[in-house]
Amino acid sequence: MLTTSHARWTQLVSSGRRHPNWSVLGGVLPDAAAWLVAGAQTVRGTPPEEVMERTYHRSPFREIHMAVHAVWIPVLLALTARPGSRRRALAGAWLGHLAIDFLTHHDDAWPPAWPLSPWRWRAPISHWQQEHHARLYGTADLAGLALTMRRRPTPLGLVAVGLGVVSLAKQFTAPSRPLGLAADPSGRGRDLDRRGDRAGRLAWCQTGPGPSQPPPRQSASPSP
């Protein structure tokens, strides 16, 4: 789900509850590091095709993203916070963000129990991969956001609808490139999966968390 959609739906769910602004903050916090790193890379003049690779594949940012998309930090916050507190509101929305991501990411799914386990679940629906119903998902998300604007219009809702339109348009004009950024989910998936076995973990420690490269194509052997 787009970060702005996370924020808007969290805003609606937390309406009428205590500390709604903290809930919205928790709803976007897992993606904040990616936006900050990508923004800094863009300001520095990094080519667009390299922004995603540098944002998600390189240390220490890769480990930061994996940590904030695992359940341990928000669970700890929730367990140590008083009921009705700001920290409890933030932690609850953070966990809600992770739950939505769990259901809407396929190749670029995050391991929810990292670093204790590399296990990932590839959801049958992806919020941006066309081969996994991204157009249908994007249409449903945008329609829902637009309907909420009729009942409770807010500046955040307007931003969410606007970026939803941009993202859906990209689905029809630039497949697998959300918001025009070149993504490499398969490479990230291979990096994540490769840590599941002992040899993979050793290779990952020795080479660092850079993007994986597909194996070289084998030339065809001459027929006997």
pLDDT tens readout for residues 30-76: 998 888 888 888 888 888 778 877 787 777 888 888 899 999 999 99
Handedness of CA 67, 72, 77, 78 (dihedral sign): positive
Q: Which two tokens stand for residue 10?
A: 């969290």
pLDDT above 90: residue 223? no
CA geometry: angle 212, 215, 219, nearest 5 deg: 160
CA–CA dist 36, 87 (Å, integer): 22
Tokens 């890379």 label which residue? 41
Q: Cβ(152)–Cβ(12) under 8 Å?
A: yes
Q: Cβ(124)–Cβ(112) under 8 Å?
A: no
pLDDT above 90: residue 172? no
Handedness of CA 49, 119, 129, 92 (dihedral sign): negative
The predicted structure's pLDDT at residue 107 = 84
Give how far Cα 197 sits from Cα of 9, 164, 201, 202, Å: 38, 38, 6, 9
CA–CA dist 134, 185 (Å, integer): 14
The predicted structure's pLDDT at residue 200 = 44
Burial class (CB in 10 A: 0-12, 13-18, 19+), 64: middle
On the CB side of 143, how many CA atoms lie within 13 Å of its CA? Answer: 6
- Helix (H) / strand (E) element for 181: namely none
pLDDT digits (tens, 9 = 90+) for 207-221: 333 333 344 444 343
The predicted structure's pLDDT at residue 186 = 40
Kindly report each contact of residues 156-159 with a partner whose C-beta sits within 8 Å and lies 24 or more positions away, as own/partner. 156/4, 156/7, 156/8, 156/11, 156/24, 157/8, 157/11, 159/4, 159/8
Q: Which two tokens stand for residue 140?
A: 């449903």
DSSP string, 127-152: SS-GGGTHHHHHHHHHHHHHHHHHHS
pLDDT digits (tens, 9 = 90+) for 66-124: 899 999 999 999 999 898 899 999 999 999 999 999 999 888 888 999 989 888 888 89
pTM of the predicted model over 0.85 = no
* Lowest mean per-residue pLDDT among 115-124, 126-135, 153-162, 180-189: 180-189
3-state secondary structure of 215: coil
